[in-house]
Amino acid sequence: MNKLQRGGLAALLVVVVLAAALAPAAAGFILAQRSLRLDETERLSRVADAALARAEDVTRSLSSALAEIARVAGEPCTASYLTELRRIALMHRQVRDAGAYGNDGRLQCSSLRGAHGPEAASPDAERLPPPDWRGSDGLSAWFGPLHLPGGETSLVLGRSGSYVAADPAAYVDGTASGLGIINTQASRVIATTPSADPSRLLALYRRPDDGVRCTTPYVVRRSTSMPLAVVVSAPRQALPERIRSLPWGWLFGGVATGIALACWVAYLIVQRMSPRGQLTDAVRRHEFIVAYQPIVDLATRRCVGAEALVRWKHHDRIVRPDDFIPLAEHGGLIQAITDQVLDTVLLELGEFLTRYREYYVSINLSAIDLTTPRFLDNLRPAVAEQGVKPDQIRIEATERGFLDAEAAKEVISAFREAGHPVYIDDFGTGYSSLSHLQNFRVDGLKIDKSFVDTIGQDAASSSVASHIIEMAATLEVQVVAEGIEREEQAIYLHARGAQFGQGWLFSPPLTAAEFIRYAGRTRGA
Ligand code: C2E
Ligand code: CA
Ligand code: CA
């Protein structure tokens, strides 16, 4: 991974972690606010329902008082008339005053002040202004504020010269603040609680939206039987108060959940992005391919087989085994990789091997593969099913694989008993190559490239190759020399008695199809 990709990954990680931390916090916060607002709206709805019932009650009472006045017999403003007015006013709790007025609106008498004196005739005498609203049935309404006998009044209903006036408090008595009663036909505020702002309530009444979603929730209730509506609004909070009433518990809970979630997501990402995570993915997705490096008979230069060399095809890039096999060995993935190599070999070369019995493919095993018979248990039926002879699949085991010498000895002899020849790979590079040769019966040695490289040079190690070859002859095991790049090396090794060799001099690792062609060419040679 280069610097740029690492930077990109770090940035992505930060974004994901932040998103994972903030998303539940934000969700919790929004949900909490929503539920608070719903609670508040529910409360406001209850207040509005009660206020509407009360306003309807008041209006009903005023109308019936007015109807009763209309039925009073006799001339208006006589003593008996006034007595009746007072009785009606007393009977209807919400009626503050009742009286009579002339065609010009001038007040003639009232239950509170009796018959108006001669000053009633004067031009500045108390009179009702033109009504704010006129109904079809001759009913007139004034929505105040009006100064009538008995003080300020908010609603006056009048019909055919008689009127009743209500105390504005009668509408909103005992109800919460922020409440207003509205006449829906005239779009006028009839009464409000003392601290409420009538123009704001009217504005809320006219708004088309749903009051639940507002920062300051409100509720509008319309009467079905009267031109009345109630607007109740939650009190406006000052900023510090609003901050205090925020659902902090939810917010902190959300942040804590978010952080936990973010850590978990980060852990998963880091794990997934880690080399081991990527290799695990590669095993799951079967991202391994196999290259075949021909092994030739040094005497005839004819191909006798190939070594299967695994490669990881990672995002269109070919990763060499030295860069991932150690990781696979430590991460417990190597056995799965060995299995995939075998599957690929049989898939790609199975038919070739059944057709040309003289060729073989050798497979590299790791230390862990040499501790149990697991791989042999897979190999045996797979080879049988394909119809490949056991000695066409050979095993290469490095000395690193002999750490558990007893187990390795058993597994190696089991391979050999099953007919799979076994070679000691990279022979001579370990501490105890010779002691292994005494302990294990094997079929061949692979001379490490480092000893082949020094052939022809004056280095002390240049003779190691010939010593190994001599030893192999004594033990009657085959020799395959690795990493032959120059003709003189091939000639030298052959002259010393090495039968087989592999290296770039003959061929680099090939694809299966290339290998089949290569084998055909050397057969014809
Ligand atoms: P190795 O078993 O010693 O394989 C020989 C390595 O030498 C191969 O490298 C091959 O490409 C390289 N090579 C062959 N001829 C020449 C040459 O003339 N000159 C030079 N400079 N190099 C040559 P490769 O493919 O990179 O494999 C490296 C090592 O990875 C192998 O060394 C083997 O130990 C391991 N390996 C490869 N495939 C597998 C596998 O399927 N399983 C396990 N456990 N290990 C594997
Ligand atoms: Ca090998
Ligand atoms: Ca080797």
pLDDT the model gives residue 200? 87
pLDDT the model gives residue 154? 63
Provide mean pLDDT across the span 197-210: 84
Residue nearest to atom 25 of ligand 1 (CA): 309
Q: Of 32-46, 347-361, 411-425, where does mean pLDDT reach its minimum?
A: 32-46
Residue nearest to atom 15 of ligand 1 (CA): 503
Q: Which residues pair with 127 in a beta bridge?
A: 106
Q: Which helix (H) or strand (E) holds 222?
A: strand 218-222
CB 353 within 8 A of CB 388: yes
Residue nearest to atom 21 of ligand 1 (CA): 483
Q: Report the alpha-carbon distance of residue 372 to residue 151 in Å, rounded.
A: 107
CA of 456 to the centre of ligand 2 (A): 24
CA of 348 to the centre of ligand 1 (A): 19
Work out the pLDDT band at 149, boundaries 50, 70, 90. Answer: low
Work out the pLDDT band at 238, boundaries 50, 70, 90. Answer: low
Provide mean pLDDT across the span 328-349: 97
CA of 140 to the centre of ligand 3 (A): 111
Q: What percent of the chain has pLDDT over 90?
A: 40
Provide mean pLDDT across the span 508-523: 96
pLDDT the model gives residue 336? 97
Nearest ligand to the CA of 395 is 2
Nearest ligand to the CA of 483 is 1
Q: Of 197-211, 242-256, 276-290, 375-389, where does mean pLDDT reach its minimum?
A: 242-256
Q: Of 120-129, 413-422, 488-497, where does mean pLDDT reach its minimum?
A: 120-129
CA of 396 to the centre of ligand 2 (A): 6
The residue with tokens 């939810």 is 250
Provide mean pLDDT across the span 471-495: 95
CA 70 from centroid of its chain's CA atoms: 73
Provide mean pLDDT across the span 393-402: 88
* Residue 404 in tokens: 């558990």
Q: Report the alpha-carbon distance of residue 445 to residue 481 in Å, rounded.
A: 8
CA of 483 to the centre of ligand 1 (A): 9
The number of the ligand 1 atom at minimal distance from the alpha carbon of 398 is 34
The residue with tokens 């040695």 is 445
Q: Which residues pair with 181 in a beta bridge?
A: 191, 230
Work out the pLDDT band at 121, boundaries 50, 70, 90. Answer: very low
Nearest ligand to the CA of 293 is 1
Q: What percent of the chain has pLDDT over 70?
A: 90
Residues within 5 Å of ion ligand 3 by Cβ?
425-426, 482
Angle between helices 374-386 and 405-417 (to 10 degrees): 10
CA of 453 to the centre of ligand 3 (A): 13
Nearest ligand to the CA of 375 is 1
Name the residue with higher pLDDT: 491 or 244. Answer: 491
pLDDT the model gives residue 13? 74
Q: Which residues line ligand 1 (CB under 6 A)?
A: 293, 309-310, 320-322, 325, 338, 341, 364, 366, 425-426, 482-483, 485, 502-504, 509
pLDDT the model gives residue 129? 85
The number of the ligand 1 atom at minimal distance from the alpha carbon of 426 is 3
Q: Report the alpha-carbon distance of residue 513 to residue 291 in Å, rounded.
A: 10
CB 428 within 8 A of CB 451: yes
CA of 453 to the centre of ligand 1 (A): 15
Work out the pLDDT band at 457, boundaries 50, 70, 90. Answer: confident
pLDDT at 1 over 60: no
CA of 61 to the centre of ligand 1 (A): 104
Q: Of 254-258, 364-368, 469-473, where does mean pLDDT reach its minimum?
A: 254-258
| Helix residue ranges, H only, 183-321 | 198-206, 239-244, 248-273, 275-284
Nearest ligand to the CA of 427 is 3
pLDDT the model gives residue 357? 97
pLDDT the model gives residue 125? 56
CA of 349 to the centre of ligand 1 (A): 19
Residue nearest to atom 43 of ligand 1 (CA): 364
pLDDT at 292 over 60: yes
The number of the ligand 1 atom at minimal distance from the alpha carbon of 505 is 18
* Residue 475 in tokens: 């033990």
CA of 309 to the centre of ligand 1 (A): 6
CB 80 within 8 A of CB 249: no
Nearest ligand to the CA of 345 is 1
Residue nearest to atom 35 of ligand 1 (CA): 321
What's the start-to-end Cα distance of the chain, in Å?
46
CB 92 within 8 A of CB 85: no
Q: Which of 340, 362, 364 to mutate to test the pocket of ligand 1 (most atoms within 8 A of CB)?
A: 364
pLDDT at 339 over 90: yes
CB 187 within 8 A of CB 228: no
Nearest to residue 395, comparing CAs of 368, 410, 409, 415?
Answer: 415
CA of 310 to the centre of ligand 1 (A): 8
CB 399 within 8 A of CB 412: no
pLDDT at 32 over 50: yes
Q: Which of 309, 327, 333, 429 to mutate to test the pocket of ligand 1 (most atoms within 8 A of CB)?
A: 309
CA of 445 to the centre of ligand 1 (A): 15
Which residues make Cβ contacts (< 8 Å) with residue 83, sequence separation at least 6?
Answer: none
pLDDT at 5 over 70: no
Residue nearest to atom 22 of ligand 1 (CA): 483
SS (H, E, C) 462-524: HHHHHHHHHHHHHHCCEEEECCCCCHHHHHHHHHHCCCEECCCCCCCCECHHHHHHHHHHHHH
pLDDT the model gives residue 175? 65
Q: Report the alpha-carbon distance of residue 231 to residue 144 in Å, rounded.
A: 18
pLDDT at 414 over 50: yes
The Cβ of residue 524 has, within 10 Å, a number of other Cβ atoms equal to: 7
The alpha carbon torsion through 28, 34, 40, 42 (nearest 10 deg) reads -120
Provide mean pLDDT across the span 229-253: 74
Nearest ligand to the CA of 319 is 1
Residue nearest to atom 27 of ligand 1 (CA): 321
Name the residue with higher pLDDT: 368 or 257. Answer: 368
**Cα–Cα–Cα angle for 359, 364, 366, nearest 5°?**
160
Domains of the chain: 14-231 (no CATH), 278-522 (3.20.20.450)
Query: Which string of b and e fits 335-348 if b means at least 16 CB within 10 Å?
Result: bbbbbbbbbbbbeb
Query: Which string of b and e fits 22-32 if b means at least 16 CB within 10 Å?
Result: bebbeebbeeb
The alpha carbon torsion through 12, 16, 17, 18 (nearest 10 deg) reads 100
Residue nearest to atom 13 of ligand 1 (CA): 483
pLDDT the model gives residue 240? 65
pTM above 0.75, yes or no: no
The number of the ligand 1 atom at minimal distance from the alpha carbon of 484 is 18
Mean model confidence pLDDT for the chain = 86
